[in-house]
A and B are shown apart, each in its own frame.
Chain A
Amino acid sequence: MARKKKEMPELNGAGMSDISFLLLCFFLMTSSMDESLGINRLLPPIPEGEQEQIQIKPHNVLSVLVDGQDRLSVNAKVIDIRDLKDAAKEFILNPTRDPNKSSKKEEQINIPGRGTVTFEVTEAVISLQNVRSTSYEKYLQVQDQLTKAYNELRNEKSIELFNRKFSDLDDKQREAITQIYKQRISESPPKDTRKRK
């Protein structure tokens, strides 16, 4: 008995493109491309009860003020936003040991692979102030430039110590660098910020 040869019916692929087009349209409608990128900040907690005032020596403070006309001044001198980063870096580093700029104190920091090393850690604090009519765009530009100053300092230190960029370090190395250049940006809210009801 001769075996009957069964032929598979051919699958029609014409409808597949329609189905996937529909799916594609669905995803295009319901999803958005925007990636969430931004500048990270940590707000200071509300002090509870009586709190001791931490005295910061005035020469350690770089006061950055953005006024209602979006003018930027650093230590009461009007400067351009493009010069802010270098001004901040110079203030933090203080290579000439100017007594009017930030001082340093020695601190023991554990460097992975090298043990504990004594570093001169800067005591600089950047005080950022704005008024209620400052525009958010200008404010964020200032925040961006200050972050950039710290990032560049960390990067330089990281290349010096580990021969790698700060972003390529592992967690422990990153922590060591962060201890050398702690990002200290203090913000005080505008005077007439809403009080709790």
Chain B
Amino acid sequence: MAKFTGKKVKRLAGFSTASMGDIVFILLFFFMVTTTMRETDVKVITNVPKASEVAKLERKDLTVYINIGTPIPSEQARYGTDTRICLDDAIKTIDDIRNFIASRREGLDEKDRPLMTTALKIDKETKMGIVSDVKEELRRCQALKIIYNALKVE
């Protein structure tokens, strides 16, 4: 009865990877839709505070970001651990804000200029002194629309 004694060669069912590509594509689309491109490397750490009454930023293309916080560890050798202002990807001073805002405003369409919003991404540990200075400078630059970045909590 060789039929029963002989070793049966068991073959595992083939594992089809054909649909893996589809799954990864779905993942890819999910990330493409939900995320936005990171534009600049910010050199300061900004842990924004929490707030409940937050509104969404209306036009991202008309937004200028001003980051205020402590420099990231790799920049601390140069700039120390004091609160600093970061415009685009460089640590600057308050006096640079005027030129920064002006150059951004130049780049916009004439009709969009009054709609330009300045997003203030400020670390929650920051003292109000520097924030007030920045706000005063923005008033002088006629950049009056601002948004304080915050995390949403209920």
Contacts and interface: CB of A to CB of B under 8 A. Distances in A.
Which secondary structure characterizes the binding site on chain A?
Answer: mixed
Contacts of A130: 128, 132
Interface string A116-152: 0000000000000011111111011101100110010
B19 to A, nearest CB: 9
Which secondary structure characterizes the binding site on chain B?
Answer: mixed
Interface string A24-45: 1001101111111111111111
B144 A39 contact: no
Given A37-B57, A37-B151, A42-B144, A193 B49 contact: no
B37 A39 contact: no
Interface residues of A, number: 50
Contacts, number: 161
Interface string B26-70: 011001101111100000000011011111110010010000000
9 contacts: A27-B28, A32-B35, A38-B55, A38-B150, A42-B144, A130-B128, A135-B127, A140-B150, A143-B51
Contact of A20 (B21, B52, B152): B21
Contacts of A134: 127-128
A191 to B, nearest CB: 10
Contacts of A131: 128
A4 interface: no
